[in-house]
Structure 1
């Protein structure tokens, strides 16, 4: 019952914030991108490793890649080498709190990659309110507010296949 109420309140307050949130959006190619942001659920170390490898593969001397992760445990992770937030940093409405999260949301990334396949209200909140020019994420009909472009992968495909498709489509844009 409480989880249902939290989810409803989360949706209500996010919708309310999105009414006033009007950042400029546009399509940008990988060749033009100078700053890329990636958000992920770092609870699973395998996914974290794959996303780190993906970030390294798109990073160049002229392209900065920043990662923000959600660690779904009550205490902070000790093995993550990038900014993250954890369960105790969520308010009652499942919105992430803290300076690092606000800074990440306000940063004007050229591209924001949503590197999470499961529902994650804290990460969806960041994606929805991000100032990024171009947001790309997995296809979910009820999460249209999180991405400008969605990639449809079959449910049996994992994060590695999804990231491969993200890279493929971003390099196709001219």
Structure 2
């Protein structure tokens, strides 16, 4: 019964997202990692190790003189309370019943026009997919998932499950874009 209800919540979230996207206009095109100046990173956080991995990836981009902003979705609200990090965090209490994050929590992030927006979630994490989809970013990148393919400009099929592994793979491909 719980699985049925969660499925219903997710379908409702996707339906609302598709409706909102009809109103959204954005200028999208590919941008090389070399040319990007502003990078947004969406990261799912299940434990403290993932915070460290995400911050490490952000620091590697910052050493290349990129401005990086991170938004993380935390499943454990205790981790959100304990965390002293540069990652802006949202948790289960910051989303509506249909998994859509509350606008006041994500407004600054989605209204920022990043050159590249990276979703580091390698499976389906709807709150982060929603943020990416409604973002005004120019080039949106993620791991391949057929359910979220309409919302991204560039997707990579990956076997990586860790943030460190996927971010390394992602960086390799983004550096190949001219």
Question: TM exceeds 0.5?
Answer: yes
1:79 aligns with 2:83: yes
Gaps of 5+ in 2: none
Question: Alignment partner of 1:102: what SS?
Answer: helix
Deviation (angstroms), 1:92: 1.4
Tell me what 2:18 maps to: 15
The equivalent residue for 2:146 is: 141
Q: Structure 1, residues 79-138: CA drift from partner, whole Å, max 9, x if none?
A: 141211111111111111143411101100000010111211101100111111001100
Alignment of 1:1-150 (within 5 A): 1-60=4-63, 62-74=65-77, 76-81=80-85, 82-150=87-155
Measured in 1, the distance between the counterparts of 2:161 and 2:97 equals: 32
User: What is the CA–CA distance in structure 1 between the aligned matches of 2:171 and 2:40, rounded to whole Å?
Assistant: 13
User: What is the deviation of 1:62?
Assistant: 3.3
**Is the Cα–Cα contact under 8 Å of residues 39 and 115 in structure 1 kept in the other structure?**
yes
Is 2:143–2:158's contact at 8 Å kept on the other side of the alignment? yes
- Per-residue deviation, residues 44-77 of structure 1 (Å, max 9, x unmatched): 2222211111111111373201000011134543
Correspondence for 1:168: 172
**8 Å contact kept, 1:83–1:100:** no
Superposed CA RMSD: 1.7
CA contact (8 A) 2:94 2:105 kept: no
Secondary structure, counterpart of 2:68 in structure 1 = strand
Structure 1: any 5+ residue segments left out of the alignment? Answer: none
SS at match of 2:141: strand
Range 80-89 or range 106-115, more displaced: 80-89
